[in-house]
Structure formats: structure tokens, C-alpha cells
Structure 1
Amino acid sequence: MSALLGQLLALPVILPLLAAAATLIFQRHPRVQLVITAVTLSLTTALSILLLIGVDYHGTQVLAVGGWALPWGIALVADRLAVLMLVVSSIVTLGVYIYAAGQEMAETEQSDDTPVSIFNPAYLILCAGVSNAFLAGDLFNLYVGFEMLLAASYVLLTLGATTARIRAGVTYIVISLVSSVLFLSAIALIYGATGTVNMAQLAGRLSELPVDIQLILHISLLLGFGVKAAVFPLSFWLPDSYPTAPAPVTAVFAGLLTKVGIYAIIRTETVLFSTSSLRVPLLIIAGLTLIVGILGAIAQSDIKRMLSFTLVSHIGYMLFGVAMGTVEGVHAAIYYTLHHIVAQTALFLAIGLIEMRGGSTSLRKLGGLSVLAPVVSIFYLIPALNLAGIPPFSGFIGKVALFDAGFHTRDWLVVVLIVAGTLTSLLTLYVIGKSWNVAFWREPAEAEDPTPALVEEAAERKTALMHGERWKPSVRMPSLMMVATAGMVVVSCMLTVLAAPLWEVSGRAAENLRGAGTYSSAVLGSDPAQGASEGRSADAGAGAGSSGEDGAAEAGEGTGPAEAAHAEGGKP
């Protein structure tokens, strides 16, 4: 079973790439493109779930691409952190694609314009890039994954070629290129200093470098990843870039892309530089990200821009967990990252429905949506409350876990961060309450710049109710978009229902990151010192897979998660 799992590691990357090529061949047949993309994303989701079950049961899986001996060959590594991120990203990309398909069908019915045939291949390449980034076992392959998803995102961001989208796209492209140059330069410096880019091998070699060299390399990587994750002060580009994109593109960008940067930061702090700590600077940056982001959200009058700023703010929670430098902190950060991907995606899908129903996302124009579009209102309210951390939602569980991990450090700076996090959570609730009161509760006519269609429809509804007549909304919401949004809202609620098993798997993922030696042993089959000079082949055959029992080379082949965690020294 273990060998079979290893062989499957390349499929989450290969399947979307092959499907992208197929959709280009059928670019004049949008229905065929839709079927190919939907089937591929469904298969990738099922495969990711299978990998999660297998990796949690059997331990870390490694695939040496092409059969080249590690650490010289390209390694795909699936540990618990990687497959958790892979599962959540697959679910999100599938849900967003169903939403996008519904939107495209609705727009096609309303006009004779030919659908944009480039969306499907670009979206599939983005999915392949995200999967490759999560599974990458070396820094250069991680860079390739970033470039794949960024190249696709340039296309998706500028679909429609409106002036606003092109302007935002230019900013996004320039910033992305700068971050890529920073990342590539850091890779060059690391290779020059250590002679390798394999992360398992680097875990041993980087710790042998002089402290000042480690610091330079550490900061170089964090700068590149910080731009991608949109941490303060490298987050200025995000609120201007995301709101202009089409609704499904904004949803997948806001929910997923910045988390790839957070994932890379987790790898940097736990695997590559576990002995070189930038704890204090990272805690300060996390606090500033929390506060500056939420203050920016308070000042906004457009829901999209408001939530873009809250996105920046909540990146601070994830960075806070990583910066603590404890297993408990990383555990909470992993759980909170998974929660935020789903909640933020569901929220932006709901905003797309609000824009379609109300004709705008400006709080100056909206009103009365709680009675004119009650279902859409629920779709917005549930993930919004989740994002604000209202119990019993997963956002509340994640924040409590972060604060609890912080209190256990007994560090005054961490306590300051806990206060900042609590204040940010309260201000997030204020922002959500403000948007709800303005866009949903008040009468449309009370808006500063009322939308005539909403005012007229609200008046028609009142007249119909007074005369006992049946009232029908003037705008019919596409059923596929509603189903996709409902699905993502349900998934966000399932994070609460399934909080216990998800929390346990996140804990085992964090335990796997306890010290660089655990990762090195799983990938290279040796301790960091040996891995620095030897390495090993994943298997004798070309492209064969192998597994390492995270932290224990032979710790219980065929054991369950509880036994495996016990063998790894973690909590069952």
C-alpha cells in the first residue's frame, strides 16, 4: 500500500496539466471543456483525500521523479502538512470551478458573446502549480510551483480586459515578479552556500553555516515568501489587486494563493531554519499585520476591499502561530490556515452573489438584501461570523488554540500579540456587523447613493405583501452558483463538526515538523548529518515511491494514526 501511495504523488500535478492541454484542444467546445475540467478536479480531490488517509496511516511518502537517486533527483514529498493543504485546496478549487461554470452559463444565456475559452486551461495550470508547491521536496521545484500558479493567475486576473483589471493586473504582475526574483536569488545564495536545494538535505547543511550567513539566507527566503503571503509591510498590493477580478477568481485568490506563501514560511521555519530563529521580528510583523490590516478594513466602504484587508489582517494570526516557535503554535497555525482557506473562499463566493443580486458591492449603494435575497444573506452571514471567530465556528476554535499556545510560552511579547489578536477579532466582528447592518438590514432608499433597481423592487415587494399577492424577485440567481456557494458554506461548517479529527491530524502534522531531523529522516532515510552527504534513492525502479515513518524509520508499518504518532514521539 505504501509503495502505491508513493506512485500516486505526481498525479495531483500531472492530471491538471494534461487536462489543461485537453481543454486547449477543445477551446471551441466550452461544454467539453467544462466536463474535462470538472472531472479532473473531482479526481484530484478524491486522490488528495486518499493520500491524506494513506499518509496519516503509513507516514510520509516520497517519490523520486524519474528514478533519480535522492537528494540529486527531484523529490515529491507528501507529509501530513502537505496532504492536508492539498485536500483543502482541491475542495476549494472544485467548488470555485462549479461556481465559475454557473456564472459562465448565466452570462452566455444573457448575451451572444463567446465564452472565454482560456479560463479552463489557466485555472487547471493554477491548480497544478498549487499542488506542485505543496508537494515540492526541493526549493527549486517549489519555485516552479509558484511560477506555474502565478503565470496562470496573471491570465485569470485580467480576464475581460477592462481598464480596472488591467491596471490591477499590472500591479500584481510587477509585485509577483519582484517576489519571484527575491525567491530565486535566495535559492541561488543557498545553493552557493550549501551545494544543494533539496530541503531534507538543507536541514542538515544550513545549520552548519556561520550564524551571519544563516541569517542572510533566512531573511532572503522570508522576504520572497512574505510578499506572496501578503504580510505587513509587503501586503500593500493585495487590496488593489483582488477586488477587480471576476468573483470566482477573487474567491480562489483570496482563499488559497496567500496560504501557499504561509505554507512556504512554515517549511522555512520548521525544516530549513529550525536552529536559526527570527522569532522576535516575526512576532512583531505578525502583530503589525493583524492591526494594520483590520484598521484598513474599517476604513473601506466596498465589501470586496473590506474583506481584502481582513484577509491581510488574518494572515497575521497564521504568522503568529509559526513565529511562536513551538509545536503547539504551529499546530494552531495549521488548523487556522485550513479554516481560513475555506471560510474566506465561501465569503467571496457569497459576495459574488451579492454583486449579481444588488448590482454593486459598495456599501453606499446596497440595502434591503435580507428580505430581497434572504438565501444569499445566509450565505454571507455564516462564513462572516466564522471569520470573526464567533463560537462555535472553526474560527473561534483556531483563535482560542492560538491564544492558548501563546499563554504556554510565558513570553511578554506573545501576550502582547494575544491582546492584539483579541482586539483584531473584535474589530473584525465590528466590520462584519457594519457591512451586515448597511447592506442587509437598512432599507434600500436609506443608502447614501441608492441603487434605483433595489429601491423599486423593495417598494414592489411591500405593495405585493399589502395586497396579499405573491412577490417574485426581479433577478433570478443561477442555480449552479447558489449550489456551489452553499457547498462551500457547508464545508466551512463541517470544519466545526469535524473539528476533533481535523485538530488531531493537524497535531500530528505539527509533530512531524518538530525539528529538522524528522523531515530529513522521512525523506532521506537518515539523520540530517548523514543526509547532508549521502541521501538515498526513493526506490530502485524509475519513478518509484517510498515511505518514511516520520521520525522513526521503521516505526510501525501498517500501524494506525494513534500508534504512528506514539512512535513519532507525538501525541496520539
Structure 2
Amino acid sequence: MINLPLFPIILPFLFAILLLFFKDNIRVQRSLTCIGLVISLVAALFLVAKVKADGIQALTLGSWPAPFGISMVSDMFSALLVTTTLLLTLCVVIYSFTAIGKERERFFYYPAILFMVTGVNGAFTTGDIFNMFVFFEVLLIASYVLIVLGGEKRQLRESMKYILVNVISSALFVITVAFLYSVIGTLNMADISVKIAQIGQPGIITVIAILMLIVFGVKGSIFPLYFWLPGSYAAPPIPVLALFGALLTKVGVYAIMRTYTLFFVHDIGFTHEILYVLSILTIIAGCIGALAYFDLKQIIIYNIVIAVGVILFGAAQMNESGLSGAVFYLIHDMLIKGALFLLIGIIIYVTGTSNLRKMGGLMKTHAPLGWIYLIAAFGLAGIPPLSGFIGKLLIVKGAFEADHVWGSIILLLSSLIVLLSVIRIFIYAFWGEPVALPKTERRPYRRMMIPAVVLVVLSVFYGVGTEWLMPYMTDAANVLLQPSIYIDAVLKE
């Protein structure tokens, strides 16, 4: 058996180590990074096809039987997320050739990205709860390098907050896993599910469920634990912000969805009700932030918070429509947030500012940028037939099935606020009287447009091609809805 689930984790890791030997040769660094990501992406696509054809791919390392060895499990949910991660990272890396600056490229920028991808893909693939903590740490350590790279005063100030919050949440993660182990006596995620089912869900397990929600809520930035996010994400350069915004919060969201559909399914009236309420509050808090700012970065960063709320709202419904919608929307959001961050990076490059009040009239000088941005904005807001619409439609359907009518209304109203926040950028930056622009070269602008356009086009196809993609989303939702599929695949070995 080919160990396909390991390829998207090991390949970026090996290429990251290789890059450490070519610190000053930027051309070699760029080439090797692209080659590593392309090979990993091909492996991930093969993995998706394999999971579709043969079901969940599980392997336990070191020839130990599960649950004693460390299991790596690729079901459709994790395989789709791994593929999207690699695709997105490839686009951001190509964008970075022009946007990040050679000084930063020389200081282990590309190895840090590949180490971060290793951690992200590992967290998506692992079947062991302690191993998930290990992969979280891998991606966090790489993100610490990326957030301070360049050493600007604002970066250093915000990175202190970012590191402190993550160190505290990681400590709480270890304590929670220790609690869980003391009660259940296993770390294998499939085995944990079996053991919790055997003892029902006593109070201590519900306490652990809430602790897990706090831990992953800090990583995924749910209400009220998102306080660190707007400042920390706005500090690094745009390519780093694109990676953080599209990938890092999604790992926390994935962890909540995985644990709340696999482990904590015996007291849904309590645990998932809290998740439901917090998701609604997260949406509302994100909407307030998105409307409050006139800074390009902050508006899109608060839209990350809204999206986290929308995805978890879908997951909290615990029915097929809600979970299919959550999976669909999660992947849509990774693509569209990546595209939007790259596009606002180009707007900032052209205008020399991220303040909306100092922009205007870009439609006369940079019309293609305006139209591409508008498509991405409509996609984010969920205008049919773009991808945001289908995900939200399924989530709202799931909410109506679960009698969460008020939640559905808040979700639909949030779509209007998202549309208002992103159209405001369009009106301020592209309409009105042209303002004097700083002197910029056309060539870097064109180079940066290519990966941004690719991501926007992919997100459009993702919406238009829903019919072909839906079987994959249904497979992913089925694994979340029926934990026995996951358990059998891991423990049958």
C-alpha cells in the first residue's frame, strides 16, 4: 500500500529542510518551493481520487495496530482541505515573488511557509489527538517566524500578543488532552469516540468538550476569543496575511468540527447549543467590525471572523444539509479569502495606502483589477451562482430543518452586511474622482494579478461546478454525520 496520506505532509517538510541550505540563492529557493508544492498538490489530488474510489485511507505508523500506533487518516473532509491548502499556498508563493521583497525572501521566508504547510496538513490528517497538538505547534512556530519577518515595529508589537495568546491556548490544549486521557485512557481519535460511547457522556466529558471549544476557539477566532486576531493579522505583509487568513483560522475550525462530530455527540442539547449560540455571536461581532473600519485589511480580516461563525453555525446543526454546507463553505472561504487578500495587496501597492478615504477613481487606471475584485466581492457575499451562495443555502436549509429559524435570519442578514462591507471598498477605491497615485511599475502589478485572478477563477468554477463537486461534499459530510465510518476505517486495521 502506498502511504498516500503522508505525502502532502512529508513532501513540504523535506523541501523546507532542503531550502535551508540555499539561504542566499533566491532563485533556487523560489524554484524548489514551487516544485515541492506542485508535487505535493499532485499527490493530494491522487489522494482525493483514492478516497473517492476506495473509501477512507488510514495507516498506523511503525507497524503497530490501531489504537496503539499513531494513526494518519485521510477521509474526504481532510483530503479536500489538504488539497485546497496546497493550491492556495502555491498561488500565494507565486504572488510573493513580486510582493514580499528580497530582504524577507533571504531570511527563511519560503522554508517557514513550507513548515507551516506541513503543520496545517498534518493537523488535517492526523487521527491522534495528541498528534494534532504537535502539528498545531509545528504550524504555530513557523507562523511566529512569518509574523516577525522584516522586523517592523508594528510587527514586533503585534507578534508579542499573537505568541502569548497561542502559548496560553497550547498549554490549555495539553491540559485538556491530559484530562481526556485520564478519563478515557487513549489518544487515538477513533478509539476515543468508541470509549466515550461506551460510558455515555458523563459530566466530565462535557467539561472537556467545552475546554476543547475554548482551545480551538482561540485558534479559530470565535466570539469572544477573536480579540487578538485583527491586530495580529494586519501587522505582517500581505502574502503572510493571505496565508494566515485563509489557512490558520480554518485549522481551528476543522478541529472543532472534527471533535464535535466524532467525540462529543451524546449531549448535543448542551455542547452544540453552546456552539450554535457562539457561532451567531461570532457572526454579529464580525459584522460590526467589518462595518466599523475604513482600512482595507481590517475589513477583510473581520470578514474572516464572520466566515468562522457561518461555518460553525452549519456544523452546529448536526444534520446532512448543515454539515455539507459547512464543508462546502469552509473550502469556498479558503479560496475566496486568499483571492481577496491578494487583491487588496495589489490595491495597496497601486495606491500606497490601505486607508479607503485616501483612494478613488482606480477604475480609470486599473479597470481589470476593479472587475476582478468585484467578482471576488460578490463571491464572498454569496451572490448566486457563485460559491458563497451554495454553501450558505445548504447551511440555512440545515438550520430550518433543525428549527433554528432566528439563526438563519441572522445568517442571511449577515450576507447583506458582508456585501455592504466589500462593496464599500469597491465604491471608495474604484469610483469617484481619481486621486494622485504614487509612481509604481506596471510589471509587478501584472505579475501580482496572475495568482489573484487564478484564485478568483477557481472560486467561480467552484460555485458554477457545484453539481460535479457535490458528491465529494456529501462524502465529507457523511463521515462527520456517521462517526462509525471513520471508526471502522481506523480500527479495522
Q: TM-score range by the shorter chain?
A: over 0.9
Superposition RMSD in Å: 1.5
* Shift of residue 378, structure 1, vs aligned partner: 2.4
> 1:251 and 2:242 equivalent?
yes
The DSSP-based 3-state class of the residue aligned with 1:70 is coil
Q: Distance in 1 between matches of 2:434 and 2:90?
A: 35
1:453 maps to 437
Q: Deviations over 1:194-243 (max 9, x none)?
A: 11110000001123155211111111111111111111101111111111
User: Does the CA-based 8 Å contact 1:186-1:221 persist in structure 2?
Assistant: yes
For residues 395-406 of structure 1, what are the structure 2 equivalents within 5 Å?
Answer: 395-406=388-399
Q: Specify which of 35, 42, 61 is matched with residue 38 of structure 2.
A: 42
1:407 maps to 400
1:84 maps to 80
Q: Distance in 1 between matches of 2:340 and 2:104?
A: 29
1:96 maps to 92
> 1:216 and 2:207 equivalent?
yes
Q: Specify which of 157, 176, 200 is matched with residue 186 of structure 1.
A: 176
Q: Distance in 2 between matches of 1:224 and 1:114?
A: 32
Identity of aligned residues (%): 37
Alignment gaps of 5+ in structure 2 = none
User: Does the CA-based 8 Å contact 2:201-2:267 persist in structure 1?
Assistant: no
> 1:18 and 2:11 equivalent?
no
* Shift of residue 476, structure 1, vs aligned partner: 4.1
CA 63–480 in structure 1, closer or farther in 2 if over 3 Å, else same: farther
* Shift of residue 28, structure 1, vs aligned partner: 1.9
Q: Distance in 2 between matches of 1:118 and 1:474?
A: 27
Q: Distance in 2 between matches of 1:210 and 1:417?
A: 27
* Shift of residue 379, structure 1, vs aligned partner: 2.8
The DSSP-based 3-state class of the residue aligned with 1:477 is helix
> 1:263 and 2:261 equivalent?
no
The amino acid that maps onto 1:500 is: E
Q: Distance in 2 between matches of 1:126 and 1:193?
A: 32
User: Does the CA-based 8 Å contact 1:204-1:516 persist in structure 2?
Assistant: no
- With normalisation by structure 2, the TM-score equals 0.96
User: Does the CA-based 8 Å contact 1:370-1:377 persist in structure 2?
Assistant: yes
* Shift of residue 478, structure 1, vs aligned partner: 4.1
Q: Specify which of 425, 430, 436 is matched with residue 420 of structure 2.
A: 430
Q: Specify which of 45, 50, 53 is matched with residue 49 of structure 2.
A: 53
User: Does the CA-based 8 Å contact 2:287-2:414 persist in structure 1?
Assistant: yes
* Shift of residue 17, structure 1, vs aligned partner: 1.1
* Shift of residue 101, structure 1, vs aligned partner: 1.8
Q: Distance in 2 between matches of 1:286 and 1:23?
A: 40
CA 115–60 in structure 1, closer or farther in 2 if over 3 Å, else same: closer
Q: Distance in 2 between matches of 1:148 and 1:384?
A: 33
Q: Distance in 1 between matches of 2:174 and 2:371?
A: 44
User: Does the CA-based 8 Å contact 1:214-1:276 persist in structure 2?
Assistant: no
User: Does the CA-based 8 Å contact 2:201-2:266 persist in structure 1?
Assistant: no
1:28 maps to 24
For residues 226-245 of structure 1, what are the structure 2 equivalents within 5 Å?
Answer: 226-245=217-236
The DSSP-based 3-state class of the residue aligned with 2:224 is coil
| Matched residues, number | 490
The amino acid that maps onto 2:256 is: I
* Shift of residue 516, structure 1, vs aligned partner: 2.6
Q: Distance in 2 between matches of 1:73 and 1:202?
A: 14
User: Does the CA-based 8 Å contact 1:331-1:506 persist in structure 2?
Assistant: yes
User: Does the CA-based 8 Å contact 2:98-2:444 persist in structure 1?
Assistant: no
2:117 maps to 127
CA 114–151 in structure 1, closer or farther in 2 if over 3 Å, else same: closer
2:141 maps to 151
User: Does the CA-based 8 Å contact 2:385-2:464 persist in structure 1?
Assistant: no
Q: Deviations over 1:87-111 (max 9, x none)?
A: 111111111111112324xx45xxx
The DSSP-based 3-state class of the residue aligned with 1:62 is strand
* Shift of residue 267, structure 1, vs aligned partner: 0.7
CA 474–84 in structure 1, closer or farther in 2 if over 3 Å, else same: closer
Greater helix percent: which structure? Answer: 2
Q: Distance in 2 between matches of 1:321 and 1:512?
A: 15
* Shift of residue 131, structure 1, vs aligned partner: 0.8
The DSSP-based 3-state class of the residue aligned with 2:106 is coil
Q: Distance in 1 between matches of 2:482 and 2:8?
A: 28
- With normalisation by structure 1, the TM-score equals 0.83
Q: Deviations over 1:416-470 (max 9, x none)?
A: 111101111111111122111111101135xxxxxx436xx8xxxxxxxxxxxxx
The amino acid that maps onto 1:304 is: K
Q: Distance in 1 between matches of 2:485 and 2:320?
A: 13
Q: Deviations over 1:20-60 (max 9, x none)?
A: 11100111211111111110000111110100011011000
* Shift of residue 79, structure 1, vs aligned partner: 0.6
Q: Deviations over 1:541-572 (max 9, x none)?
A: xxxxxxxxxxxxxxxxxxxxxxxxxxxxxxxx
User: Does the CA-based 8 Å contact 2:318-2:481 persist in structure 1?
Assistant: no
1:343 maps to 336
